Amino acid sequence: MIFQVKDKILRKRIEKAINRTLELKSLEFICCRMRLCHC
């Protein structure tokens, strides 16, 4: 994903949001694999 963002603050915010969703997805995946969560 490539963002053409002129505003640096906005870019950082977007990157942070993307990283957070990636973290959540991997946590969900680990959770499922270990059968700790209901998926």
pLDDT reading at 3 higher than 70: no
pLDDT reading at 2 higher than 70: no
The pLDDT, as a whole number, for residue 19 is 95
Q: How many whole angstroms separate alpha carbon 25 and alpha carbon 27? A: 5
Q: How many whole angstroms separate alpha carbon 39 and alpha carbon 34? A: 11
Q: Where are the domains of the chain?
A: 7-34
Closest by CA position to 16, among listed 8, 6, 28: 8
pTM: 0.55
pLDDT confidence bin for 1, thresholds 50/70/90: low
- pLDDT, tens digit (0-9, with 9 covering 90-100), for 5-38: 678 888 899 999 999 999 999 988 888 888 877 6
